[in-house]
Amino acid sequence: MRKKIIAGNWKMNMTYEEGQILTSEIVQMAQDEQLKDVSLVLNPPFPHLHVVKKLIGGAPNVFVGAQNCSDKESGAYTGEVSAAILASFGVSYVIIGHSERREYFKENNEMLTEKVKQALAAGLQPIFCCGESLDIREAGTHEPNVKFQLTDSLFELSAEEISKVTIAYEPIWAIGTGKTASAEQAQEMHAAIRKHLASKYGKEVADSISILYGGSMKPSNAAELLAKPDVDGGLIGGASLKSRDFIDIAKSY
Ligand code: PGA
């Protein structure tokens, strides 16, 4: 059985105060509304991690994740945060290779491999993002494009290592645009990703890897997307900043 994961990517939003309110509300609702078989992952900006972890306390199925980590192990890299530092704060997950990091901070496939390795070495579970731009989608080459991102960044991992990775398929044209991939488009790509993983690691490993969809997922479209057999959860941006919306997405399963 694959893990069902609803992860919130707060991006560069939320003050200290706002983050605490949001976290407390989510933890409370998850408990009151008995969200049992879905893991919730909150990915706030770095300074929130400690308090978010504390507020989650012993809540079952609620975890804290970071939005990025360094590709280096430790040392003189001013402004960077290593995977080991994150792990020492009780962080469980880390988003790696979000399209905003690829575009604005010039993160390339090679660097992302290093980040994934650092995360795994520190005991974190990477949420590895992939996805095509609008011109690639319109040219019809989205499938080979996404497969290449996976091959180039992940395929030097062992089967044991890749089993600890969660994939997030996020078509860039759907992120923050209000435009969602249709459930059919998402399923088609998720199935292609799983087949690609199987071609390298075998069916059993590929079947055990959770593949999340991201890009304008909200309560009104979540049920349809999450009903697809290869969609194992969501990576939620905008709608993760409202506790009610975030929980309603998780309840759409
Ligand atoms: P969105 O962002 O839900 O606001 O489109 C998703 C993401 O970038 O992870």
pLDDT tens track for 140-173: 999 999 999 999 999 999 999 999 999 999 999 9
Rounded to two decimals, what is the model's pTM? 0.97
Residues of the chain with pLDDT > 90, as a percent, come to 95
Index of the ligand 1 atom closest to the CA of residue 239: 3
pLDDT value at 58 more than 80: yes
Q: Check residue 50 and give its pLDDT.
A: 98
CA 175 to centroid of ligand 1, rounded, Å: 5
Q: Can 170 be counted among the known catalytic residues? A: yes
With a cut of 80, say whether residue 119 has pLDDT above it: yes
Asked if pLDDT for residue 86 goes beyond 80, the answer is yes
Tell me the one-letter amino acid at 166: T
Q: Which of 80, 17, 6 lies closest to 46, judged by CA?
A: 80
In this structure, the residue with its CA closest to atom 7 of ligand 1 is: 237
Our answer on whether the CB atom of 45 is closer than 6 Å to any ligand 1 atom is no
Under DSSP, the state recorded for 130 is: E
Handedness of CA 15, 16, 17, 21 (dihedral sign): positive
> Helices in the chain by DSSP H: which ranges?
16-32, 49-56, 83-88, 99-104, 109-121, 134-139, 142-154, 159-162, 183-201, 203-208, 219-226, 243-250
CB atoms within 10 A of CB 75: 8
Map residue 153 onto helix, strand or coil. helix
